Amino acid sequence: MEGQNITRVVLLACGSFNPITNMHLRMFELARDHLEDTGQYRVVKGIISAVGDSYKKKGLIEACHRLEMARLATENSDWITVDSWESSQSEWLETAKVVRHHYEELLATEQNNDDVDTVKYAKKRRIQEDYVESASQYKRRDGPQLMLLCGADVLESFGIPNLWKQEDIAEIVGRYGLVCISRCGSDPHKFIHQSDMLWKYRKNIHVVHEWVTNDISATHVRRALRRGRSVRYLLPDSVVYYIQEHSLYSAESEQKNADVVLAPIQRYLGASSS
């Protein structure tokens, strides 16, 4: 009976993964521990979704390399997978659309597990109607849940003008939920308190404090690599070897997209001026 009250959760991490680091992998472990410690959730899967090349971020190397490094980093994990759907799209996609896609995939998998067609279609209709918007949040009745996993920097980026649509933030946090891993020097609770949107959906935001301080960032890793410094133990060894084999992350690669406007800002500014 106790197990019937536990919600199964799939964690989705979207980002550049340029390159993937040990901290990216630690985020999944920290989030799983935190959610399962509540006694309300059981994390059944983790998904890494790398942004496509059309995101146009400065220093962003080709998605094929970033995906392969992510696959190498997770090859020994029995629950974290790498998905190429987002990076294979011809245009940059808003994170809300990526989350929506993976939730639809999750529903499809659930329906494929049903043996009887009549039960299958009844369940599909029930699950699709299972979100009811109340004054404060979307409430989930049953079934698997998808949550976006991110660092505190992503949470704080919600406040950057023209980077996120307000309706996308409402959908991600209000409908699906967010697991935010705090970083040294960040204060997610303060940011949530200062944002009316996040405060409205605060019960859907799980803030996880990392007590073992680990401030590895892909930016620092790329800087060390282009200066010929060792990055061993910051990345999985298989990723380090891949970078060396393909001569990735040079001074030249860091200037890629240097004069290009970031895709979301370009899109939103273009829409506002039209």
Block means of pLDDT (10 residues each) for the chain, 274 residues, are: 77 98 96 97 98 96 98 98 97 97 93 58 52 39 86 92 92 97 86 94 94 84 96 97 97 94 85 57
Give the phi and the psi of residue 177 in degrees, each rounded to 5. 110, 160
pLDDT of residue 131: 43
pLDDT of residue 12: 98
E runs forming strands in 19-158: 41-50, 80-83, 131-133, 138-140, 145-151
pLDDT of residue 161: 85
pLDDT of residue 132: 37
pLDDT of residue 140: 44
pLDDT of residue 168: 97
The long-range contacts involving 39-44, CB below 8 angstroms and separated by at least 24 positions, are 39/6, 40/5, 40/6, 40/7, 41/6, 41/7, 41/8, 41/9, 41/145, 42/6, 42/7, 42/8, 42/9, 43/8, 43/9, 43/10, 43/11, 43/79, 44/8, 44/9, 44/10, 44/79, 44/144
pLDDT of residue 139: 40
pLDDT of residue 134: 37
CB 185 within 8 A of CB 179: no
Q: Name the pTM for this structure.
A: 0.88
